[in-house]
Structures are given as structure tokens and as C-alpha cells.
Amino acid sequence: MPRFKLTIEYDGTPFVGWQRQDNGPSVQAAVEAALKAYCQTDITVFVAGRTDAGVHALGQVAHADIPRDDTAEVVANAINAHLRPHPIAVISAARVADDFHARFSAIERQYEYRIVNRRAPLALDRDRAWSIPAPLNATAMHDAAQALIGKHDFTSFRASACQADSPIRTLDELSVARQADDIIVRACARSFLHHQVRNIVGTLTLVGDGKWTKSDVEAALAARDRAKAGPTAPAVGLYLVAVKYPA
């Protein structure tokens, strides 16, 4: 049965997250319903990263075994036709080897977190960014972020309900840059802990408004205690931007 890699974009606002749940609509359920309408059979979709409620994706990756010998273009167009009116789109589809797995084959996940740093409230970008009216020093945030790059015990930056076996993760990139009123936090790693990026962003905002220094971030990391780090940034500003696989 042909296996297809699906690159998916979605607005996470109306969903309880990627994963199928009983307490509300999910992205996974919508995609699987579209596949069932297309193929007339139940198909399970496997995903690279199970995003939380309200989190968005520009380049989520999933795979599915589709019992039709259609081209990748036909597969993408058919799924999109059945996804309407959900704010979900299959950007591209590609036929892949049978051993490809959206989650386990991934070698890097890239997230971006968007803060709009201005006094005026959000009109067009409501539910798509974290609005912070007080001025933030993005340069200081970037400098403090460098203390978190590398292999560390990220207990201080994971959710208390995180189900990962180990808090050890290797953060390959963490940058903060201002673009006019936007402050973009970019994080890249093979894998992340639950709420890791949002907890890092919340902590870095304490540096941005002058309440913390880089030394405070280092101390929070060393403490291995969630209570010693900053707040959890809201889901609205987080985007799964891309997932990388071996060539």
C-alpha cells in the first residue's frame, strides 16, 4: 500500500490540538475524516509533532498509507477538497518508502514563537501571536538564550505533566530577533519536551523586560525545578515551522 508524506499547514485556534481527543475537534480527526471521505476506509495518520491546543503549524509533517494508486498531486488535492471548511491545508504530498515514519524518521524540528511588542492591541493577529505592550529588549533575550543551547537537563523548562522518559534534550539553535514590532524566538532540536519552547519563551520575556539577567536563566536551568523558571507563554504565538529528515 503506497505511503505518503503530507506537509500540513493549520490554524490551531479552533482545535484541542493535533491528537484525536474526546473533548473537542482535533487536527488529526479532521485529516483522518478527509482521508476516509477520499478513500472510503479508515486510515490512521501519524505525525511528527503532536501540537497542543491553539498551537499553529506552517510545516507539520504526517504520513499515511493510502490504498489508492494516485499521484501525490491528486492525493493532496483530494484531501484538501474534503478538509473544507477547516483551517487546514495539505501543502504538499510525496510518495515515500515504506519505512518512512513522520515521527521516528525526523532528525530536526523547528519552532518559532511570535511576540508582538507594541502598545496597541492585536486586530488581525489575534490568536496568532502573544501581545506584550511593555517594551522588550530582544538583544538581551537573545544573549540569555545562548545559555540554553546544547545538551542539558531541561526539567526547569518542561511541563509538570510531561510524559517524556528523560528531561535531557539537545537544543541546537535558540535565537531571538526583532523585526519591527515582532519579536521572533526560533528553536531547533531533534525533539522537544512538553511545553519546552513555551516555557523558554516565558522565561526569556523576564529578561526582555529587565526583571531577569542571563545569570538568572542559567540558575533556573541548573535548578532542575519547573518552579524556578519563568511562566509558560500562551499557545497562540507558537508555530511548528518545519520538520527535517535525512536526505
Q: Which of 11, 22, 42, 52 is catalytic?
A: 52
Q: For position 22, what pLDDT does the model report?
A: 87
| Residue whose C-alpha is closest to residue 210's, from 139, 158, 154, 156 | 139
Active-site annotation holds for 125? no
β-bridge pairing 150-153 and 56-65:
unpaired
What confidence tens digit (pLDDT) does each residue in 58-94 have?
A: 999 999 999 999 999 999 999 999 999 999 999 999 9
Task: Give percent of the chain with pLDDT exceeding 90.
Answer: 96
The correct answer on CATH 3.30.70.580 for the domain covering 3-96 is yes
Confidence of residue 217 (pLDDT cuts 50, 70, 90): very high
Exposure class string for 165-193: b at 16+ Cβ within 10 A, else e: eebebebeebbbebeeeebbbbbbbeebb
Q: Check residue 51 and give its pLDDT.
A: 96
Q: What is the pLDDT of residues 110-160, one digit of tens each?
A: 999 999 999 999 999 999 999 999 999 999 999 999 999 999 999 999 998
- Residue 62's nearest CA partner among 10, 112, 25 is 10
pLDDT of residue 161: 87
User: Which pTM value belongs to this model?
Assistant: 0.96
| Domain 108-244: top CATH class | alpha beta
pLDDT at 199: 98
Say yes or no: do domains 3-96 and 108-244 share a fold. yes
Residue 78, judged by CB atoms within 10 A of its CB (0-12, 13-18, 19+), counts as buried
CA distance 183 to 90: 28
Domain boundaries, the chain: 3-96, 108-244
What tens digit of pLDDT does each residue of 85-122 get? 999 999 999 999 999 999 999 999 999 999 999 999 99
